[in-house]
Structure 1
Amino acid sequence: MNENLPPPAPAINDWLIAATRRLSDIGIATARLDAELILAHTLRVSRTYLHAHGDDNLDDRQLEIANARLDLRLDRVPVAYITGHKEFYGKLFHVTTATLIPRPESESLIDLLRLALLETPTVSRLVDVGTGSGALGITAARLFTSLDVTLIDNSHQALVVAEKNLHQQAVEARLLHSDLLEDYSQTADIIMANLPYVDRDWERSPETDHEPAEALFASKQGLALIERLILQTPNKLAINGHLILEADPVQHRSIIEFAKNYNLQHRQTEGYGVWLQKLR
């Protein structure tokens, strides 16, 4: 036997066990899941495949790529940026570091949209302000096909990502580069927005250091952009129209009170979502 030969590449299970241990050691709660997602992406297989083929050995190239991606995760790079996609409302969305990663909390906005449409089924125009990857607006267009959807962002790079997701999901919507609703020339029946609302002083996970700051943080305790959007509703939102926002629950009371000054009545809160309706 040649003692100078490198050791053989590990089996799938062995790599997963070692990777899970390393991720757990730095406090990542989803260590096993993250390890499986990284390896499945590297091998271009499902997680189920990993479970069924745990004794299969990786080859040297697979091991090199998997380890490089594991190193990124150990640096607290989010898994979605490593794999290039994130699931939202049952569909995979392409993401890059130009966009915020879609979060499960945002799905409550789609649930509130469903309720709003039950009350006013004749609405037609919906705008997704600060669309990022397009997760909210594209999901709305996919589920409620009668809607005329416009995806708005002030980042050209984010709109490129949103356009890619539009094509991948075979959904139709307009794209508009605009600072909030400044360049939106119509009157919307529904405005949806997951704008930056994180206060820089809040405790947060290290993963957010890798997300675009302009998509995450806002001044005035995180409320600056939300309040600016509310200020635009007198001219941009139709009578009886709906404004559906995402914000941290600790901000909801302040948003609801501020919105009253602009004829927006609180209808319902669900998770991180706030549903307001314009009275007149």
Structure 2
Amino acid sequence: MNISTWLKHATEHLKNAGITSAQLDAELLLANTLRKNRTYLHAHLDEEIDPRRVDIAEARLSLRLDRVPLAYILGKKEFYGREFDVSPSVLVPRPESEEMINMLLRLAPQDNQPRTLIDVGTGSGCLGITAALELSDNWHVVLSDISPKALSVAEKNAKKLGAKVFTQKQSLLLGQFEKLDCILANLPYVDKDWKNTSPELRHEPPEALYASEGGLKLIRELIQQAPKHMTNQGLLFIEADEEQHQTIVAFGNQNGFLRLETSGLIVALRFVGTKR
């Protein structure tokens, strides 16, 4: 079987499975299997594929047809222009989360004072590591997670990308002793009763996806815990469904936070120290 034939075969099967990125997924699966890039595939469509490589590509195609996220099959995912290792122990980084970094860079203090940022529920570490690499050196960046497996993935990514970060196992901010100038939080916010969720979600760690109380339980707990750990005018960035934003902002107001802005799935709050 040559490259062209396999790509057509795989694309057709992926389309029939309802995968909208069928052609791209087919190309990425085969390119990774052959250890080539997609440009190579297009330039060598008539090249025969080694039968052993065909078997590997077919096994990966079967996983994708079962709606296993492509990032888990390939073991990596791009985020903010960098490649992060991923495993089924962590959520797949989403492009929507990149807006949290954009907002952070717009709103974070630009002085040279020592500052501390924590990425709560860090998972792969994509948010905290990106923050560490994009912010100036005066920022002390901590990655925290309740999952040792997730922290292991995050530590591997930090080493791979050359990010100076510190990791700690903790639940939200329980046990936090450093004062925080900034909190990044992409916590579970999906309600199990929501309809029309992606089939890929069933392959991602449920403890990183789902929360009770309409998906807001952990977000509410974080907002309640945050005031005693934050510096005055500290920043809190939360990712959540857009329909949850109004509730989050109102709950933040009750706990000393004012809304700065919202963009996409991200809510930015500032701590003003006075409950409202």
Q: Which category describes the TM-score, using the shorter chain as reference length? A: over 0.9
The sequence identity of aligned pairs, in percent, is 48
Structure 1: unaligned runs, 5 residues or longer: 1-9
2: distance between equivalents of 1:184 and 1:166? 21
Q: Does 1:115 align with 2:106?
A: yes
3-state secondary structure, aligned to 1:137 = helix
| Aligned residue in 2 for 1:184 | 176
* Residue pairs, 1:13-32, within 5 angstroms: 13-32=4-23
Query: Which residue matches 2:272?
Result: 279
SS in 1 for 2:108: helix
1:178-257 matches, within 5 Å, as: 178-203=170-195, 204-257=197-250
| 2:154 equivalent among 155, 158, 162 | 162
Q: Bigger CA drift: 85-94 or 115-124?
A: 115-124
- After TM superposition, the structure 1 = structure 2 runs for residues 46-195 of structure 1, keeping only pairs within 5 Å, are 46-117=37-108, 122=113, 124-146=115-137, 147-195=139-187
Does the 8 A contact of 1:123 with 1:189 survive in 2?
A: no
**What whole-Å deviation, never above 9, does each CA across 1:13-50 have from its counterpart, x for those lacking one?**
11001100000001100000110111111011111111
CA distance in 1, matches of 2:186, 2:57: 33
State the aligned residue count: 271
Whether the aligned pair in 1 keeps the contact of 2:122 and 2:144 (CA below 8 Å) is yes
Pairwise CA distance, 1:161: 0.1
8 A Cα contact 1:117 1:123, kept in partner: no
What amino acid sits opposite 1:277 in the alignment?
R
Structure 2 residue identity aligned to 1:152:
S
- Offset of 1:118 from its aligned partner? 5.0
TM-score under structure 2 length normalisation: 0.96
What amino acid does structure 1 have at the position aligned with 2:143? L
User: Which amino acid is 2:192 matched to?
Assistant: R
| Structure 1 residue 123: Cα displacement | 5.8
SS in 2 for 1:57: coil
The whole-number CA distance in structure 1 between the counterparts of 2:271 and 2:121 is 20
- TM-score normalised by the chain length of structure 1: 0.95
Offset at residue 255 of structure 1 (A): 0.1
Say if 1:142 and 1:264 are closer, same or farther in 2 by CA, change over 3 A. same
Contact 2:114 2:140 in 1 (8 A): no
The 1:271/1:121 distance shift into structure 2, 3 A limit, reads farther
C-alpha RMSD over aligned residues: 1.1
Structure 2: runs of 5 or more not aligned:
none
Counterparts of 1:229 and 1:196, CA distance in 2: 12
SS of corresponding position for 1:27: coil
CA contact (8 A) 2:91 2:205 kept: yes
Which has the higher Rg, Structure 1 or Structure 2? 1
Specify the SS of the correspondent of 1:182. Answer: coil
